[in-house]
Amino acid sequence: LRFSPHAEYRKIHKFQFIYAWFFYGLMTLMWATTKDFNQLSRYNKMGLLKTHNTTYRKEFLRLMMYKIFYWTFTIIIPIIFVNLVWWKVLIGFAIMHFTCGLILALIFQPAHVVEMTEFPTPNEETHQMQDDWASHQMKTTANFAPNAKILSWFVGGLNYQVEHHLFPNICHVHYKNIAPIIKETAKEFDLPYHSKKTFLGAVVSHAKLLYQLGQQPKMA
C-alpha cells in the first residue's frame, strides 16, 4: 500500500483504493503474529533495549510467553471447552480480528492519510525536519466529526486527532474544550487546522487519496 507521495510506486498501487480495505482488516492479526517480533528486532538494532537495561533474549522470551498465552486463551481453550467444531472457532477468531482491524484503520487512516494533510520529508543534507514538532503535528494530522458525541465516545476522542497529538497526556474528554483554542492559535500563527465535519467525509477523503496515490507519478 502506498500512503505517501514519497513512497515507491508500483503498478499494483493503481487498485489500492479497492483492495486496501481488505488488508486493513488484517491489521490486528498482524499485530498478534509478526509485528511485535519485528518491532522487537528493530528496537534491538537501534540499541533501545540496552537503554532500558534489558536484553533481546529476555524480551523475546517474555513476548513469546505473552503470545502463547494469547493464542491459548483465544483459540486452544475455546476449541477444547466450547461446544463448537474447531473450524468455527477459527472463523470466529478471524472475523473478530478482521472487524477490529477494519475499525481501527477507519479511525487511524482518516486522521492522517487524507487529501488535506501534508507529507513532509527530512532535509537531505541535515536530515532534519523543516518544521518544529508542534507545527509538524498540525500539518500531518486531521480531525473528523468533532460534533459527533457518540462517535467521539466510541473512539476515545481519536476523532480529535490534532488535540491528541499535541496533548497526548490530557484526557480525551477535554479535547472538545481545547479544540477552539488550538484552532484559534493555529490561525494566529498561520498554521493549518485540518478537520472534516463528518466521519463519512473523512473516509471518502482517505479513499480519494488512496486513488490519487495509486496513479503513476508524472515524470519531472
How confident is the model over 97-114, as pLDDT tens digits?
999 999 999 999 999 999
Which residues constitute the domain of residue 187? 133-196
The predicted pLDDT at position 127 comes to 83
CB 114 within 8 A of CB 104: no
Phi-psi region for residue 98, left (φ > 0), alpha (ψ -120 to 50) or beta?
alpha
The predicted pLDDT at position 126 comes to 85
Based on the fold, state whether residues 102 and 148 are members of the same structural domain. no
- How many angstroms separate the CA atoms of 96 and 23, rounded? 14
Based on the fold, state whether residues 35 and 105 are members of the same structural domain. yes
Based on the fold, state whether residues 104 and 147 are members of the same structural domain. no
Based on the fold, state whether residues 137 and 106 are members of the same structural domain. no
* 26 part of a folded domain: yes
* 57 grid coordinates: 533474549
Domain total in the chain: 2
* 220 part of a folded domain: no
Based on the fold, state whether residues 27 and 97 are members of the same structural domain. yes
Angle of helix 16-24 relative to helix 199-213, nearest 10 degrees, comes to: 120
The predicted pLDDT at position 123 comes to 86
* 202 part of a folded domain: no
* 119 part of a folded domain: no
Instruction: Quote the pTM value.
Output: 0.86
Based on the fold, state whether residues 138 and 87 are members of the same structural domain. no
Residue 163's contacts (CB-CB under 8 Å, 6 or more residues apart) are: 143, 157, 170, 175, 178, 179, 182
Based on the fold, state whether residues 71 and 104 are members of the same structural domain. yes
Based on the fold, state whether residues 192 and 141 are members of the same structural domain. yes
Report, as ranges of residue numbers, the positions in the chain whose pLDDT lies below 50: none
* 33 part of a folded domain: yes
* 31 part of a folded domain: yes
* 53 part of a folded domain: yes
Based on the fold, state whether residues 15 and 103 are members of the same structural domain. yes
Based on the fold, state whether residues 100 and 23 are members of the same structural domain. yes
* 172 grid coordinates: 480525551
The predicted pLDDT at position 219 comes to 64
* 185 part of a folded domain: yes
Based on the fold, state whether residues 98 and 189 are members of the same structural domain. no
The predicted pLDDT at position 44 comes to 94
